[in-house]
Structure 1
Amino acid sequence: MEPSSRPGYHRAALFVVLASVIYAVIGNTFFQLAYRYSAAIDEAYIVFALTSAVYALPVIYWFRRKYWYFALFIPVIWVPMLMITGYLMGLVFPLPEDDYGAGMLLLFIHGLNFAAVVLGVALGLTVNAAVAAWRKFSRE
């Protein structure tokens, strides 16, 4: 039996792509916000903590069953989705081409966002593991 013919496989793969796109849009939106308003960069670590917690919620809800390990692919697929959504947002909200500080800001924001994605996935999987262990050991 092929893995793709098992029930829930396509659903889990769809949730990985969907979560990656959502996280990439959030990251690019925060970059655009930080570029235009300096107050957003002053509170970057608060945003990091909040987005890590928010990123954990879909992992907790969508990946608590058989294909829980698919959530580990979210940071991997997040990178190309970040490039695609960044390009599309650049078409809608263009930045000046001679501003080199925007590149450093981009590296800082997306580095912070990548750490938030990894931490969010780890938090979500940890909560799911704790809930599964609680259910298993409370039956005995």
Structure 2
Amino acid sequence: MKPSAKAGYSRAAFFVVMVSVIYAVIGNTFFQLAYRYSAAIDEAYIVFAVTSAVYALPVIVWFRRRYWYFALFIPVIWVPMLVVTGYLMGLLFPLPEDDLGGGMLLLFVHGLNLGAVIIGVALGLTVNAAIAAWRKFSRD
């Protein structure tokens, strides 16, 4: 592999991991918020729509060049990062162990967040494809 290609490859891989960690922290923060305040869960679908749009922004900015397909690995890397950041946040902000509803809330919140990550990545890649097509066809 050429040194210039290796640098771009490493940069794209770094952005995938960094974005996955950021998305996992956002998801775990929303879970902690939803656990403590029921108003957060009442507006969960609005949060879903907003986070989907926000999750598209780093994909639009960082994955528009040669290694655009690395953005497809964000949902895959997001899962282990969610577990790691969830464990760390559980150490910082412990929850009671005898609350079974917390597990159902965890599944609901992280299911919504996974959907938001997938839609955000798809939306970001779609916007990048539209921008690339616009540039290509406006040159002619």
* TM-score bin (small chain): over 0.9
Per the alignment, in what secondary structure is the counterpart of residue 31 of structure 1? helix
Give the aligned partner of residue 124 of structure 1.
124
- 1:1-140 pair list within 5 angstroms: 1=1, 6-140=6-140
Alpha-carbon separation, structure 1, partners of 2:56 and 2:66: 18
Q: TM-score, normalised by structure 2?
A: 0.97
Q: TM-score, normalised by structure 1?
A: 0.97
Query: What do you get for the CA RMSD once the two structures are aligned?
Result: 1.3
Alpha-carbon separation, structure 2, partners of 1:130 and 1:115: 22
* 1:16/1:73 contact within 8 Å kept: yes
Alpha-carbon separation, structure 1, partners of 2:63 and 2:3: 17
* 1:4/1:10 contact within 8 Å kept: no
Q: Which 4+ residue blocks in structure 1 deviate beyond 2 angstroms?
A: 1-7
Query: Which stretches in structure 2 are left out of the alignment for 5+ residues?
Result: none
CA deviation map 1:74-124 (0-9, x unaligned): 000000000000000000000000000000000000000000000000000
C-alpha deviation, 1:3, in angstroms:
9.2
Query: Which stretches in structure 1 are left out of the alignment for 5+ residues?
Result: none
Specify the code of the residue in structure 2 equivalent to 1:104.
M
State the identity %: 84
C-alpha deviation, 1:7, in angstroms:
3.3
Figure out how many residues of one structure are paired with residues of the other and give that number: 140
Alpha-carbon separation, structure 2, partners of 1:3 and 1:72: 24
Per the alignment, in what secondary structure is the counterpart of residue 110 of structure 2? helix
